Amino acid sequence: MAKQTFGSKAGLIAATVGSAVGLGNIWRFPAEVQANGGGAFLLVYILCVFLLGVPVMMGEFALGRGGRGDTISVYRRLAPGKPWWLTGVLGLLASYTILSFYLVVAGWTLEYLVSSVTGDLYATIPGDAPGSSAQFAHRMAEYVATPVKPVVFTILLIVINAVVLLGGVQKGIEKMSNLLMPVLFLLLILFCCVSLSLPEAGEGVTFFLKPDFSKITPGVCIDALGQAFFSLSLGMGTLVTYSSYFPKDTRLGRTAVTVSALDLLVALMMGIVIFPAVMSFGLANESFEGATLVFVTLPEVFMQMPGTQAWSILFFLLLLIAAVTSTISLAEVAVAFAADRYFKGNRRKSLLLVLLPLLIVSPLCSLSNGVLSHVTIFGQTLFNFLDTFSTNILLPLVGLTMCIYLGWFAPRGFLEEELTNRGAIRSLWPRVAMVLLRYVAPLLILLIFISRFA
């Protein structure tokens, strides 16, 4: 079967940005900004995106398109007989692990969307002051711990993934991204405009954008590095897999810069949405930890605005789009691998193999927030264990070995050939990327890694 490719440049960018833009940008980024002292974090984050994110992304793109295969077979093709394919195995494991709990959270966003439509989200709870943070915190805690509903919504998300992925690269992933990504940006622009028109907008923007250098500590830098890695979808095989669908004439350097810049732009826009809003409604001192920002603080904000339900619907739609496009890219890693390796390109069979186990694992993950919370792995619930194992261990490990492979062991001239489209374009990127991949990125990733255990 001929290898599938994306049909257009815009489609390829939309799909890759769709993978990168996710819950990481919408809630994790503002939470990190808040926890790390505002503008100081932002500055370091931007540096991390360009010093670490862009070169590693270029490396993943080169691997995927040059190796023309899934995240494991690219290494087998480029380094036959060597153990580098294990990096691909770890990438596959990372994407599948993240997918299993990301689906649960994506399910929450769908439920919050539905209950915004029905109005149930804003129904008062006996004993709590209407519209208070206690009301929404209780709702959230009760909701995630109930056994049935979150499982049903998780399964619905698996079904959505199945439908899109069944359509294949052009008619499934690309079509969905072309449709949803513009909607996501329009919604973001709308929210930015509304937030900037609020009374305390100036203060919020200042908190977010004004760098306070005294707050830059090693801890802040490491958090920013980790956030950049997660937000740009690095180290999970998704970018390798998607770039194996890039046509031969795609400019990989430019694409990596565009995708990283758009991902950063979404994070920046979310900062512009969140900080003016929480300042204006007197919620700036609430902690955004965990999922609080989107499921507790923002409903409080909407409650205080005219048109509560409409804003709530639009916001959870935005969140759902961000989450779904990311889950699709995570699932595609395994679907592409199984289709290539076991089913001669038959996506239907490969989808079954990939999604059926998720019908068990993801519901278990959901239940680990409630009835199964007493079952622990290394002292953590299944949900938390999969989260920390994948983000703290697998991601840096895959990123590190990939950089070492590309920087030191890949066939001579491989990166240059890919980044210049075999000499067809002139570009400074191969040299710059090589230095960053050889020395800078491994060092920085090593730092994240060590800090997780320190």
Least Cβ distance, residue 326 to ligand PFF (angstroms):
4
| Residue-wise DSSP of 206-235 | HHHHS--GGG--HHHHHHHHHHHHHHTTTT
Smallest separation, CB 24 to ligand PFF (Å): 2
Rounded Cα distance between 355 and 337, Å, is: 13
Helix (H, G, I), strand (E, B) or coil at 97: helix
**Does position 59 bind ligand PFF by CB under 6 A?**
no
Minimum distance from CB of 305 to ligand PFF (Å)?
A: 26
**What's CA 157's distance to the chain center, in Å?**
16
Q: Which residues contact 80 (CB under 8 A, 6 or more apart)?
A: none
> Rounded distance, CA 140 to CA 293, Å?
11
Q: Is residue 25 near ligand PFF by the rule CB under 6 A? A: yes
Q: Does 299 bind ligand PFF (CB under 6 A)?
A: no
Q: Is the dihedral of CA 113, 115, 119, 123 positive or negative?
A: negative
Q: By CB under 6 A, which span of 19-27, 107-115, 210-218, 247-255 interacts with ligand PFF?
A: 19-27
Give the binding range for ligand PFF (CB under 6 A) out of 16-24, 140-148, 216-224, 336-344.
16-24
Tokens representing 385 are 């264990």
CB of 278 to ligand PFF, least distance (A): 21
Q: Which of 4, 16, 19, 297 binds ligand PFF (CB under 6 A)?
A: 19
Alpha-carbon distance 305 to 311, whole Å? 8
Q: Binding residues for ligand PFF, how many (CB under 6 A)?
A: 16
DSSP letters, 110-154, are HHHHHHHHHSGGGS--TTS-TT-HHHHHHHHHHHHH-SSHHHHHH
For ligand PFF, the binding residue among 71, 135, 238, 401 (CB under 6 A) is: 238
Residues within window 171-210 making contact with ligand PFF, judged by CB under 6 A? none
Can you tell me the distance from the alpha carbon of 133 to that of 136, in angstroms, rounded to the nearest whole number?
A: 5
Return the residues of window 218-237 that contact ligand PFF according to CB under 6 A: 230-231, 233, 236
- Name which position in 4, 16, 36, 95 contacts ligand PFF (CB under 6 A): 95
- By C-beta, is 95 or 308 nearer to ligand PFF? 95
* The only residue of 11, 18, 22, 204 in contact with ligand PFF, by rule CB under 6 A: 22
CB 443 within 8 A of CB 65: no
| Candidate segments 18-26, 58-66, 124-132, 423-431, binder of ligand PFF by CB under 6 A | 18-26
**∠ CA(449), CA(453), CA(454), 5° rounding?**
110
User: At how many degrees (to 10) do helices 308-341 and 149-166 cross?
Assistant: 60
Of 219, 103, 87, 233, the C-alpha closest to 157 is: 103
Among positions 330, 367, 434, 445, the unique one binding ligand PFF when judged by CB under 6 A = 330
- In the complex with ligand PFF, the residue whose CB is nearer, 265 or 372, is 265
Shortest distance, position 59 Cβ to ligand PFF, whole Å:
15
* Among 227, 278, 256, 179, residue whose Cα is nearest residue 23: 227
Stretch that binds ligand PFF, among 185-193, 325-333, 399-407, 409-417 (CB under 6 A): 325-333
Complex with ligand PFF: residue 122 or 246, whichever CB lies closer: 246
d(CA 454, CA 435): 28
* Minimum distance, C-beta of residue 29 to ligand PFF, in the bound complex (Å): 8
Residue 110 touching ligand PFF (CB under 6 A): no
Q: Does 88 interact with ligand PFF (rule: CB under 6 A)?
A: no
Options 329, 350, 362, 401; binder of ligand PFF; rule CB under 6 A: 329
Do residues 299 and 316 touch, judged by C-beta distance below 8 A? no
What is the binding site for ligand PFF (CB under 6 A)?
A: 19-20, 22-25, 95, 98, 230-231, 233, 236, 238, 326, 329-330
